[in-house]
Chain A
């Protein structure tokens, strides 16, 4: 036994080190993905008998208005969430100075990211609250009558996205601050001698060097946008009349709330969301894979 181990430990050690983590990850992440796909072909309330219904869940989904509302909101989320990238860059550039106390400013600007989305949601719910919310008051002064953002079908999704952007911008900002810290000073000086400044400097000299930071910022922002659940749940529970639902929330509502225990239907929604995210995930993985194998 010991002799065998001694002779083969270089081959066996990685297996040994990988086993516990792999096992946990397989049980809780990899296998459930396959199971969800499987469940999406059943009619199941989570407790009773599962009934195979083939693609019926997907057929129903194709004709479900709430599904399209959620899907549309997901697209809006994704598009607007990406604003966090330029906004975060802007704040990072603003804060990338060496004046007294700047470190404290940087930490305080980063603050929203440390706070739970539940708390962020409650803060913005207060901010938007009809009659006394700061934002409501502001619209009252500007337009004569106040707007209760979270109760208005036209604005509700945008109102939630703004709440989501707040911590996300902070996250992107910190990525870019680290990136800016590592920009080669000699290149900047050389470009400055050549007369580059302002936007041209940013575009031709700085941004190319910030590419790794931009990549991570885009990855976390896209994933964050498509994962959005907490804020919708806290701020509106999908309302008014389901107009602020996103796929992740609609799935939860179908599978596990007072609206019913339709595990199969919920799983089908999850599979669609998974499919959408896989497009992005494969892109990210492909790029990372290329970087790895080139090195």
Chain B
């Protein structure tokens, strides 16, 4: 194990390490802690210049204000209405593409695979004008559907990379044996491979959920109104309205950040398994 396990060092060093951990953590999360505390600070504190002291009371009303006076609830709903179909769509498409690229040998296999991988890395701006135009011509500009369709297509690139590598690592003898038994290809996919892919599907789902929930660029390009804007874009417009109302900005930020954070803590192992795919051989 590297570095040398701390249990093997002197008691003084162990003490030092255990003391350094919380200090480092507080420093690391300082911006987050600042915003979290500000979100519970009453407006009167900010007006009196009490930015860093204890809040004079625990102003849970900031959160109520955000929901009462703004469209935050609508934005959150829009985000869910966007994110969930994208997760389902992208995972469904990529289990199929991943299966095709991971199991079958055909001439253009690697070419198709690397097309997906490369497409996944391109700058969004090179897609912006045509995708906006396409969405507009389909009558889907400023709708959740239009935004979701794009995300499904784009995320298929990353998901295919993930699924294909996962399937490639499955024991191939299983499929060979099934073929010898005369099981059709469709059934092999549905009854043999798909059940084995459950961990990959879980990992991708949490990852894609977070990516899409946090997307801001496409939300601003393809949606403009409160009926369709997800919470990232909504938060930005609210930030424009709440000039210097930092207690509200903070509360709004915390609300917007909550769903992926909860998702992360619930599904931590899957999340990290998804992110670190390929980091070990």
- Residues of A at under 8 Å CB distance from B? 9-11, 13-15, 17-18, 20-22, 24-25, 27-33, 35-36, 39, 46, 93-94, 96-99, 102, 105, 107-112, 114-120, 122-124, 126-127, 129, 132, 134, 137, 166, 171, 174-176, 178-183, 185, 188, 192, 197, 201-202, 205-206, 212-213, 216-217, 219, 223, 226-227, 229-230, 233-234, 247-248, 251-252, 255-256, 263, 266-267, 269-271, 273-274, 277, 280-281, 284-285, 288-289, 292-293
Contacts and interface: CB of A to CB of B under 8 A. Distances in A.
Contacts of A10: 104, 185
A18 B96 contact: yes
B97 A29 contact: no
Contacts of A33: 122, 126-127
Interface string B135-157: 00000000000000110111011
Contact of B130 (A36, A119, A212): A36
B51 A188 contact: no
A202 B2 CA distance: 8
A15 B150 CA distance: 22
Given A21-B97, A21-B156, A270-B128, 13 more contacts: A21-B93, A30-B119, A32-B129, A33-B126, A97-B6, A114-B261, A123-B35, A183-B2, A202-B2, A248-B124, A266-B129, A270-B126, A277-B121
B117 interface: yes
A229 B128 CA distance: 13
A128 B137 CA distance: 42
A35 B100 contact: no
B276 A36 contact: no
Contacts of B97: 17-18, 21-22
Given A171-B275, A212-B278, A285-B117, A127 B153 contact: no
B256 A25 contact: no
Contacts of B264: 107, 114
B128 A105 contact: no
Contacts of A252: 125, 128, 217, 221
B2 to A, nearest CB: 5
Interface in B167-215: 184-186, 189, 210, 213-214
Contact of B34 (A120, A123, A171): A123
A112 B261 CA distance: 10
Interface string B39-55: 00000000001011000
9 nearest A-B pairs in the assembled complex, by CB-CB distance: A28-B153, A32-B130, A116-B214, A17-B100, A21-B97, A13-B185, A24-B153, A35-B130, A178-B276
A39 B278 CA distance: 37
A116 B152 contact: no
A198 B183 CA distance: 56
Contacts, number: 293
Contacts of B281: 212
Contact of A255 (B96, B128, B257): B128
Q: Is the interface of A mostly helix, strand, loop or mixed?
A: helix
A47 to B, nearest CB: 9
Interface stretch (B20-28, B56-64, B65-73): B20-28
Contacts of B220: 233
Contact of A122 (B30, B35, B186, B214): B35
A28 B256 contact: no
B3 interface: yes
Contacts of B125: 229, 247-248, 251-252, 266, 269-270, 273-274
Contacts of A216: 276, 278-279
20 contacts: A9-B184, A13-B104, A18-B100, A18-B112, A21-B97, A22-B112, A32-B131, A46-B129, A97-B5, A111-B32, A114-B261, A117-B214, A119-B256, A127-B30, A188-B2, A213-B276, A216-B278, A227-B123, A263-B129, A281-B122
Contacts of B52: 134, 137
B100 A126 contact: no
B156 A25 contact: yes
Contacts of A25: 115-116, 119, 153-154, 156-157
B5 A98 contact: yes
Instruction: Find the residue from B52, B104, B214 having the highest chain A CB count within 10 A.
Output: B214
